[in-house]
Amino acid sequence: MKFGDLLEERKDTIVERWVDAVLAAYPSDAAALFRKQQDPFANPLGHHVREGTRGLFQTMLDGMDRERLRTHLDQIIRIRAVQDLTPSQALSFVFSLRSIVRDVVPEATAKGRFKTDLEALDENIDAVALAAFEMYSAMREELADLRVKEVKRQVAFVLEKMNQGNEGQVG
């Protein structure tokens, strides 16, 4: 059996564990709720994490199409960029896929049979991590710009109100 066939065969288990790794950054009671609630409207975060990880893993199996990769990463990274997580907390889930694959597919490390395939997978994981970091950084920058614009808008509003008040006193 080929390495890709083993990954495909055990994809559901790998993705379930990967979802758990993504949700590990959240408090345990929230993570339990995100895992349990399957309704995408009642639990959009859990839904995006499940869809994103499944799509990412399938994209890795299918050859790493960059557009598909970015689409699936966006489902996870966009949410994490607005939350109060450190960059390492927000992105460490990508690297957790290495140990998950090695746990779920122990044949991967046995006797070096799939050494080349495992190295290729690790390179793909690194590529996903780099893309995730770029997306996360861009989204955090966009968020910071929005905050600055909002503060400027609020200051301009306050100054305008102060000027209106001062106009009535001059005279």
Q: Which residues contact 128 (CB under 8 A, 6 or more apart)?
A: 56, 60, 69, 73, 94, 97
Alpha carbon distance 85, 42 (integer Å): 22
> Residue 14: what pLDDT?
98
Phi/psi for 41 (5° steps) reads -85, -35
Burial of 152-167, coded b for 16+ CB within 10 Å and e otherwise, reads eeeeeeeeeeeeeeee
> Residue 168: what pLDDT?
59
Alpha carbon distance 150, 171 (integer Å): 34
- SS3 at position 84: coil
Task: Confirm if 76 and 53 have CB atoms less than 8 A apart.
Answer: yes
Alpha carbon distance 164, 161 (integer Å): 5
Q: Give me the tens of pLDDT residue by residue for the chain, a chain 171 residues long.
A: 899 999 999 999 999 999 999 999 888 887 888 888 888 888 899 999 999 999 999 999 999 999 999 999 999 999 999 998 999 999 999 999 999 999 999 998 888 889 999 999 999 999 999 999 999 999 999 998 898 999 999 988 888 888 887 775 654
Amino acid symbol at 116: T
Structural domain spans, the chain: 3-139
